[in-house]
Amino acid sequence: MAHNLHDWFRQDVEKKAAEIVGGLDRLKVLILMACVLGLDSADKATVGAVALQLKHSLNIGNVDIGLLVTASTGISAVATIPIGIMADRFNRTYLLTASIVLWSITMAISGAANSFVMLLLTRLALGAVLATATPVISSLTGDYFRPGIRGQIWGYILSGELFGAGFGILISGEIAALWSWRISFWMLSIVSLALAAAVGWWLPEPERGGQSRLRPLKGNDSSQIDMQKNGESSSLNKNRRKENMVEQEVEKEHIPPDESLILQNNPADMPFWRAVRYILSIRTNVYLIIASACGYFFFTGLRTFAVVFLSNRFNLSQGNSIFIVVLIGLGAILGVFTTGHVADQLIESGHIRARIVVGAAAFLTTAALFLTGFSMASLWIAGPFLFLASAALGGTNPPLNAARLDIMHSRLWGRAESVRTTLRSSFEAIAPLVFGWISTLFGGGQSGTFGQGGQGGITNSSVIALTHTFEVMLIPVVIAAIVLHWAWKTYARDVSTALASEEATK
């Protein structure tokens, strides 16, 4: 009977997985890649969640807290460049596994830090290790999934960032409040070891250029990666071409490529600086990088100081602030699950630039809703606005991540993502520091000024300072929407150029 129950449960899981993402193999890959991004996000969110304990334990202030996040993010920006090169040339799952193991070791050392300097040095090492995640995940996504569904797929993968942030804020914050911030870091170290084992065991390395994409399945069929390699039939080639709705729309509108940017040779072994020049010569890619940098700049600063902001603004305890942050963060999860799918559906309806339009609309909605929420004095009124703003902010990424793959040759995906991540992370790295510094200009002081809600230490000036800081920092979000207007004009042409390059280098 137990065996029959197991079979029934497995069949039910397989059926649900087939209905949602196209099969268990797809589900497994999506969960693993989401967890990798979640690990990075959990780490950064944990610093914000345990900020009060770090301040008291190490006698530091807001600028110092910002510097801890800035350090790891800044080093990650630099280290991403060589990782991007390796992602285009070597086994990507091996890179991920080794990176996560090193991350676990470094996080364990972070938990043992007995001074701010020691903690800062471990954060620098963490940044170098975490540089692996984004270029490798981006490259794997392009090879696992066909272009027509990548918006939806990116939604599933990016949900890992948000679940990771929620994990870091809620679990790590509560552990720090109950025991110690050190235990929070050690717990993440243990979790990362388990993830390294799962990635090494269950994440297969796909063939380059979409030659072994995960095919969608129905019902209870068992899913396998189609490893036909060089023996792939012409009928499968035709099916894949038909599945690429982006390509179909480019052909339907007779959009010509930029002849000067069509690659004639496989770019896998292209010298790095030549590859960088080529990547940055694609105008849509530059616009998408700028928009991404602006969005992550705001998100990183918001994530770092969210608990402190809610504690001060609405006079909440740390525990209640953490709980509210997690509730608001659920909105971001709703956003990432929605916008990518909406953009994909619009493309199927003939709106080729839908990914750009949906991303721009999400940025504008983010700015309007957050500005309204920040101005409210009552949490009951501000809460719904902040929840919807979180949904809009989370929704900016899936369609734009899919758009970046559309406009780039498949053998440049790793390096293109490393260039984007380096530039984006440069903005992301300085965000906590800038938020902390701007708050001092508005009257927020150093340690002790932004005290814990309900326990004294809160002044009217500190509440106003952080509120105004968040409001001013919405300017980059608006800039992102404006930049995407330019991307709307160049996107279709650059997609056509990427398709022509793929055809010319087969």
Please report how many Cα atoms fall inside a 13 Å half-sphere around the Cα of residue 465, on the Cβ side.
23
Instruction: Indicate if the alpha-carbon torsion angle 356, 481, 160, 73 is positive or negative.
Output: positive
Q: What are the residue boundaries of the structural domains of the chain, listed by start?
A: 15-204+273-504
Print burial letters for 352-373: b (CB count within 10 Å at least 16), e (below 16). Answer: bbbbbbbbbbbbbbbbbbbbbb
| Residue 419: band (very low, low, confident or very high) from pLDDT cuts 50, 70, 90 | confident
CA distance 32 to 34: 5
Give the ranges where 261-353 is alpha helix by DSSP (H): 272-281, 283-313, 318-348
Amino acid type, 330? L
Give the ranges where 231-282 is alpha helix by DSSP (H): 234-243, 245-252, 272-281
Shortest CA distance to 425 belongs to which of 87, 70, 63?
Answer: 70
Task: List, for residues 355-375, the tens digit of each pLDDT value.
Answer: 999 999 999 999 999 999 988
CA distance 305 to 62: 9
Q: Give me 189's structure tokens.
A: 């170290």
The mean-pLDDT minimum among 86-95, 142-151, 207-216, 309-318 falls in 207-216
Q: Which residue has the tokens 């137990």?
A: 2
Task: State mean pLDDT over 150-169.
Answer: 76
Fold of 15-204+273-504: Growth Hormone; Chain: A; (1.20.1250)
Is 46 a residue whose pLDDT tops 60? Answer: yes
A 10 A CB-CB count for 331 gives: 21
Backbone angles phi, psi at 225, to 5 degrees: -75, 135
Task: List, for residues 100-122, the tens digit of each pLDDT value.
Answer: 888 888 888 888 888 888 888 88
Cβ–Cβ under 8 Å, residues 21 and 27: yes
N- to C-terminal Cα separation, the chain:
54
The mean-pLDDT minimum among 48-62, 211-225, 289-303 falls in 211-225
Is 326 a residue whose pLDDT tops 90? Answer: no
